[in-house]
Amino acid sequence: MNTIEPVRFTVDPIADIEEGSRSEKSFLTVLGESIEKVNNLQLDAERMVTAFSAGEDIDIHNVMIAIERANLALSVVTEVRNRALEAYQEMMRMVP
């Protein structure tokens, strides 16, 4: 009977990273950038709805895609915020 050999990796991904090539961002920075992106998506969707309502030549499909993209982005950021808040509350319960 043949035996299965374990998978062996020949590349060390950590050794391939040059020191200083990583950009380390704080959670607050990443969250702030994400909120800004979500805001821009919301504003773009609002502009498209306004333009469509004004009778400009904009395809309704593109308007709906922009609206759904903005709604999905807002849902994701809200869920990340909720999870971060839950983690913080859990840590506070651990502190005597």
pLDDT tens, residue order, the chain (96 aa): 567 676 665 555 555 555 555 568 887 888 889 899 999 999 999 999 999 999 999 999 999 999 999 999 999 999 998 999 999 999 999 877
Domain ranges for the chain, please list them: 27-94
Place of tokens 């922009």: 66
What's the confidence (pLDDT) of residue 49?
Answer: 96
What's the confidence (pLDDT) of residue 36?
Answer: 93
Alpha-carbon distance of 47 to 49, in angstroms, equals: 5
What's the confidence (pLDDT) of residue 95?
Answer: 79
What's the confidence (pLDDT) of residue 9?
Answer: 52
DSSP assignments along the chain, one per residue: -PPPPPP-----TTTTSPTT-SPP--HHHHHHHHHHHHHHHHHHHHHHHHHHHTT-S--HHHHHHHHHHHHHHHHHHHHHHHHHHHHHHHHHHH--
